[in-house]
Structure 1
Amino acid sequence: MKKLLFFLVFGMLWVSSLKAQQTQYMVFEFVKVENEQLFDYIEFKDLMEKVYRQALSDKRIKGWDFWSLQSGGDRSDFQYIMVTYYDDPVKMMNGLDEQSMMEYTKIAYPHLNSLQVSKLFQESLSMRDMPMRLYMREIAHTNDNFQMKPGVLASFDLMKAKEGNFEAYEEAESTTFKPIHQKFVEQGLMGHWSLLRTALPLGSEAKSTHLTMNVYKDYMQFFNAQSYEDMNQTEAQRLAVNEGLNSRDQKWVYLATLENVVR
């Protein structure tokens, strides 16, 4: 009996540990570049892809995306979104310091000397501004095997749960909206959906508390999903959807195209 209890407890701890290891953490960096420096920055982000591949090989990150904004509430302030994926919250908060980035650059570009690498980074820092950075934890996602690749389309929906409705909003996303998105995935109307909770910044002045990421393989799939209407939805389901919508404010929606990806 004691052995059975031991294995039961061990199994529960193992499952809990495995689930924690599978949790995904993501840093969203909204990047602003002056118009006269856009061409130089496009060259720089191609260089950064190789650098982040070195960080992936070193197990410092789980992945990296570079998105070009097509539209959004603050479109004039941002042109790009960089997303870095981590499997650990401490790794996410520590990020990749400048020294590590330069070391990975040396590996990716062995023909560059230390002085050239340092100059490259100083030039890149001077041509960009990151007026908004979000540290996030994924708390729900669809069951799919969607593969990220250049040309993929996504909408990043910044949400702010209304005061006193934080848990109600997350419950609505998980129990009402997730099944809807899962159905979209199974019907070929969407590639992937996930719900993320903001870790930082926090407080009443924060612009958002959550973010939903809606991914489509191309514009055709995106527009088909927008025009789809579920005529079989019950009255109870419609009420649940409306309650979920009323539990949060949709602050901004950013539509973006994936240009570079590291996995």
Structure 2
Amino acid sequence: MKKLLFFLLCGMLWVSSLKAQQTQYMVFEFVKVENEQLFDYIEFKSLMEKVYRQALNDKRIIGWDFWSLQSGADNSDFQYIMVTYYNNPVEMMNGLDEQSMMEYTKIAYPHLSSVQVAKLFQESLKMRDMPMRLYMKKITETKDNFQMKPGVLASFDLMKANEGEFDTYEKAEDEVFKPIHQKYVDQNLMGHWSLLRTALPLGSEAKSTHLTMNVYKDYMQFFNAQSYEDINQTAAQREAVNKGLKSRDQKWVYLATLENVVR
């Protein structure tokens, strides 16, 4: 009996550990580039893909995306979104310092000298600004095998849970909205959906507390999803949806196309 309890306890700890290891932490960096420098920055982000691939090979990150904004609250605020994926919050907060980035650049581009690498980074810092950075933790997602690749479309929906309704909002997303999005995935109307929570403590004046990613393989799938109407939805389900909507404020929605991806 004691051996059985021991093995059950070990199994529970193993499952808990495995679940913790699968949790993703993500940094969203909203990038602004002046119009006269857009062409130079397009070249620079292609260079960055190779640099982040070196960071992936070194197990410093578990992924990196570069998104081009199609629409949002105010396109003059930023034109791109960079998303870097990490295994744990410590690695996320430490991030990739400038020295590490330069070292990975040297590996990716061995023909460049140390002086050329340093100059490249100084020029890149001058041509871009990051007016907003979000540290997020993924807390739930749909079951799917969707593969991120250039051309994929996504909407990034920034939410703010109403004061005192933080748990109510997350419960609504998990129990009401995730099944709806799972149905979309199963019917080939969506590629992937996930809910993220801010990974840093925030006060009541925070602009957002959560983010949902709605991912589509292309514009055709996106517009099909927008026009879809679930006529089989019951009155109870509609009531649950409306209650969930009232528990949060949808602050901004950004539509973006994936241009570069590292996995």
| TM-score normalised over the length of structure 2 | 0.99
Distance 2:111 2:203 in 1: 46
Is residue 234 of structure 1 aligned with residue 234 of structure 2? Answer: yes
Question: Which amino acid in structure 1 is aligned with residue 125 of structure 2?
Answer: L
Q: What is residue 57 of structure 1 aligned with on the other side?
A: 57
Shift of 1:203: 1.4
Taking the TM superposition and a 5 Å limit, the aligned residue runs for 1:154-193 are 154-193=154-193
Equivalence for 2:75: 75
User: In 2, are the aligned partners of 1:54 and 1:107 still within 8 Å (CA)?
Assistant: yes
Q: CA, structure 1 residues 155+201, in 2 after alignment: closer, same or farther (shift >3 Å)?
A: farther
Residue aligning to 1:22? 22
- What do you get for the CA RMSD once the two structures are aligned? 0.6
Give deviations 1:230-261, integer Å, cap 9, x for gaps. Answer: 00000000000000000000000000000000
Task: Give the CA deviation at 1:200.
Answer: 3.1
Q: CA deviation at 1:199?
A: 1.4
Aligned residue for 1:96, secondary structure, equals coil
* Count of aligned pairs: 263
Letter in 1 for 2:240: A
- Structure 1 counterpart of 2:96: 96
Partner of 1:193: helix, strand, or coil? strand
* Aligned AA (2:168): A
Residue 119 of structure 1 corresponds to: 119
CA distance in 2, matches of 1:38, 1:201: 35
Partners of 1:147 and 1:84 lie apart in 2 by 16
How far apart, CA to CA, are the structure 2 residues paired with 1:13 and 1:228? 42
Letter in 2 for 1:40: D
Instruction: Classify the secondary structure of the residue corresponding to 2:111.
Output: coil
User: Cα deviations across residues 104-147 of structure 1 (Å, max 9, x unaligned)?
Assistant: 00000000010000000000001000010000000000000000
Q: Match for 1:240: what amino acid?
A: A
**Which letter does structure 1 place at the counterpart of 2:244?**
G
What amino acid maps onto 1:116 in structure 2?
Answer: Q
Partner of 2:149: 149
Following superposition, which runs of at least 4 residues in structure 1 exceed 3 angstroms of deviation? none
The alpha-carbon deviation at position 75 of structure 1 amounts to 1.8
In structure 1, C-alpha distance between the alignment counterparts of 2:22 and 2:93, rounded to whole Å: 17
1:244 is the counterpart of 2:229: no
Using the alignment, how far apart are the partners of 2:80 and 2:211 within structure 1? 17
Q: CA deviation at 1:206?
A: 1.6
Q: Which residue of 1 aligns with 2:206?
A: 206
Cα offset for 1:201? 6.4
CA positional deviation for 1:74: 2.6
The runs of 5 or more residues in structure 2 that have no matched partner are: none
* Identity score, percent: 87
Closer/same/farther in 2, CA of residues 201 and 45 from structure 1, 3 Å limit:
farther
1:182-211, Cα deviation, whole Å (9 max, x unpaired): 000000000000000011362122210000
User: What amino acid is the match of 1:212?
Assistant: T
SS at match of 2:199: strand
1:256: which partner in 2? 256
Q: Normalized against structure 1, the TM-score is what?
A: 0.99
Q: Determine the C-alpha separation between the residues in 1 that align with 2:81 and 2:70.
A: 11
CA distance in 2, matches of 1:82, 1:207: 19
